């Protein structure tokens, strides 16, 4: 899917389609920089492309952290909600 085709469906609960799409795009860029960097014979450009790939790796880790935060927050809210449900049923 291209960036122009992506639209957020706003139906996220414990995950986020937008962040998952961003992670996919960052992963593809990282692979691209790694691939063209491995073919490059010019040391300065090879190093530069390696740095670009490294920046993408950092971005991917940040996205994973945010997704984990969303999951944890959702689980906490689910636990709070279910504790109220249990009290109503008794």
Instruction: Say which residues have a Cβ less than 8 Å from residue 25's Cβ, sequence separation at least 6.
Output: 3
Contact in structure between 1 and 18 (CB atoms under 8 Å)? no
Categorize the per-residue pLDDT at 3 as very low, low, confident or very high, splitting at 50, 70 and 90. Answer: low
74-89 pLDDT tens trace: 777 777 777 776 655 5
User: Is the Cβ–Cβ distance between 63 and 22 less than 8 Å?
Assistant: yes
pLDDT of residue 66: 92
**All structural domains of the chain with their residue ranges:** 17-82
pLDDT tens digits along 12-59: 666 688 898 999 999 999 999 999 999 999 999 999 999 999 999 999
Where on the phi/psi map is residue 21: left (φ > 0), alpha (ψ -120 to 50), or beta?
A: alpha
CB-side neighbour CA atoms (13 Å) of 19: 19
């Amino acid at each position: 899917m291209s960036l122009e085709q992506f639209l957020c469906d706003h139906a996220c609960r414990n995950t986020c389609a937008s962040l998952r799409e961003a992670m996919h795009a960052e992963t593809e860029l990282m692979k691209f920089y790694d691939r063209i960097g491995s073919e490059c014979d010019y040391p300065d450009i090879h190093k530069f492309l390696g740095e670009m790939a490294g920046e993408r790796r950092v971005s991917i880790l940040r996205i994973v952290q945010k997704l984990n935060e969303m999951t944890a927050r959702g689980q906490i809210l689910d636990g709070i909600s279910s504790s109220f449900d249990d009290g109503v049923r008794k």
